[in-house]
Chains A and B, each alone.
Chain A
Amino acid sequence: MQRFRGRIMVSNPYFPLAVLFVAALGFGLAPLGLAWLWARLISPAKPNAIKNAIYECGLESRGDAWVQFRSAYYLYAIIFLIFDVEAVFLLPFAVAFTGLGVGACVAMLVFVLLLAEGLAWAWAKGVLTWDMPVVRQVELVDQSVGKGK
């Protein structure tokens, strides 16, 4: 019965695949296991506070790594990017200014005014005023009062 069952397993077309799978698993796990064994037997772990500290280019790490930025900041970033790119276009325009015709000047003016209109829109929308939510302001006031004491 035992031999019969074994013969079925060997003759199974997936048997070489299973052998290869086990071999591949062993090939990956054996070095890891050996390294673990080597570390356990020969190389003692000696952790300390300085060694385990967050790596920060040799400086003492301060505060939390999970710093949060306000999501409203992205609007500032986008407006900055637009005018950053505008400066790139303005520079060659300024260099070639004396040799340009009226058409080029008007085209550039339209370009600049379009961006300025965007800025005006953002301004009118109140994006440029960095107002904090009321609750947060109250919290801040409370904290400063607490510090004063």
Chain B
Amino acid sequence: MATESNLKIELGKQGVFVTTINELYNWGRRSSVWPMQFGLACCAIEMIATTMARYDLARFGAEVFRPSPRQADLMIISGTITKKMAPQVVRLYNQMAEPKYVIAMGACAISGGPFKQGYNVLKGIDRYIPVDVHIPGCPPRPEALIHAFMTLQAKIDAQPLTGDDRPRHLDAEAQSLFPIPVQGAHDLEPPVNRLVWPLPAPGNSTEDCG
């Protein structure tokens, strides 16, 4: 791989540009990641600030916030996910077309944050849907969200078209349905999606009430 990139640089010096279909495909995908337009809590304000002139998310090709999941590639979980809201978020994620990615923005979205001990807040959206980039912070600054974008772009760039490491949307056997939790008597049912949350089941320890 190293020799190949050296060869590319040498050819580039001679004015010859070479690429692979894989690189071209990923270049196109990472240069037009359209986020879905929805905000959950205070992190959404920072997300809005990121799209504005000072931080200018348009530089990364991600300024087109789509109001429909059918047209969006990226879901930014910007803020606290209450247990009332979690089913809606999971349903929207299901309704997005592949390839789709998720950025969990802020302490609440990745773990429940300051409301972790609360009865009504989901302790991280990664219990129900696969998250690609986690950003800590309460709320994270726009620079942090831009860093998350660049991390996601690097991830997309590294995804091969074939082989076992290929992304989910190119794999016919990969999971595409992420079950929507329903409101149970005391908690969401089921409390976690086993397919994306392999860690021990939460709920019974004293640390994690609910």
Chain A interfacial positions (CB closer than 8 Å to B):
42-44, 46, 48, 50-51, 53, 55, 57-60
Q: Which residues of A sit under 8 angstroms from B151, Cβ to Cβ?
A: none
Indicate if the CB atoms of B170 and A42 lie closer than 8 Å. Answer: yes
Q: CA A58 – CA B68 in complex, angstroms? A: 10
Among A42, A46, A59, contact of B88 (Cβ-Cβ < 8 Å): A59
Residue of A nearest to B169 (CB): A43
Given contacts A43-B98, A58-B92, 4 further A-B contacts (CB under 8 A): A50-B177, A53-B91, A58-B91, A60-B91
- Report the 9 A-B pairs with minimum CB-CB distance, sorted nearest first: A58-B88, A46-B176, A44-B172, A50-B94, A58-B92, A48-B177, A58-B91, A51-B94, A51-B95
Q: CA A112 – CA B88 in complex, angstroms? A: 49
> A50-B95, A53-B95, A58-B88 are known contacts. Are A43 and B170 too (CB-CB below 8 A)?
yes
Residue of A nearest to B168 (CB): A46
Q: What are 28 sample pairs from A and B whose C-beta atoms fall under 8 A apart?
A: A42-B170, A43-B98, A43-B169, A43-B170, A44-B170, A44-B171, A46-B172, A46-B174, A46-B176, A48-B94, A48-B177, A50-B91, A50-B94, A50-B95, A50-B177, A50-B180, A51-B95, A51-B177, A53-B91, A55-B68, A55-B69, A55-B70, A57-B88, A58-B88, A58-B91, A58-B92, A59-B91, A60-B91
Nearest-CB distance from B167 to chain A (Å)? 10
Nearest-CB distance from B168 to chain A (Å)? 9
Report whether over half of chain A's contact residues are helix, strand or loop; otherwise say mixed.
loop
What number of A-B contacts does a CB cutoff of 8 Å give? 39
Residue of A nearest to B99 (CB): A43
Indicate if the CB atoms of B95 and A46 lie closer than 8 Å. Answer: no
Nearest-CB distance from B50 to chain A (Å)? 22
Q: Which residues of A sit under 8 angstroms from B129, Cβ to Cβ?
A: none
Q: Which residues of B sit under 8 angstroms from A55, Cβ to Cβ?
A: 68-70, 95
Q: Which residues of A sit under 8 angstroms from B174, Cβ to Cβ?
A: 46
Nearest-CB distance from B159 to chain A (Å)? 13
Q: CA A28 – CA B193 in complex, angstroms? A: 44
Nearest-CB distance from A61 to chain B (Å)? 10
> A55-B69, A58-B89 are known contacts. Are A46 and B180 too (CB-CB below 8 A)?
no
Q: CA A114 – CA B147 in complex, angstroms? A: 65
Among A48, A57, A58, contact of B176 (Cβ-Cβ < 8 Å): A48
Q: Which residues of B sit under 8 angstroms from A42, Cβ to Cβ?
A: 161, 170
Q: CA A42 – CA B26 in complex, angstroms? A: 14
Pick from A50, A55, A57 the residue with the most CB of B within 10 Å: A50
Residue of A nearest to B97 (CB): A51
Q: Which residues of A sit under 8 angstroms from B170, Cβ to Cβ?
A: 42-44
Q: Which residues of B sit under 8 angstroms from A60, Cβ to Cβ?
A: 91
Q: CA A59 – CA B170 in complex, angstroms? A: 28
Q: CA A100 – CA B95 in complex, angstroms? A: 61
Nearest-CB distance from B174 to chain A (Å)? 8
Q: CA A60 – CA B91 in complex, angstroms? A: 8
Indicate if the CB atoms of B176 and A51 lie closer than 8 Å. Answer: yes
Q: CA A48 – CA B177 in complex, angstroms? A: 7
Nearest-CB distance from B17 to chain A (Å)? 21
Pick from B70, B161, B176 the residue with the most CB of A within 10 Å: B176
Interface bits B175-188 vs A (CB < 8 Å: 1, else 0): 01100100000000
Nearest-CB distance from A35 to chain B (Å)? 12
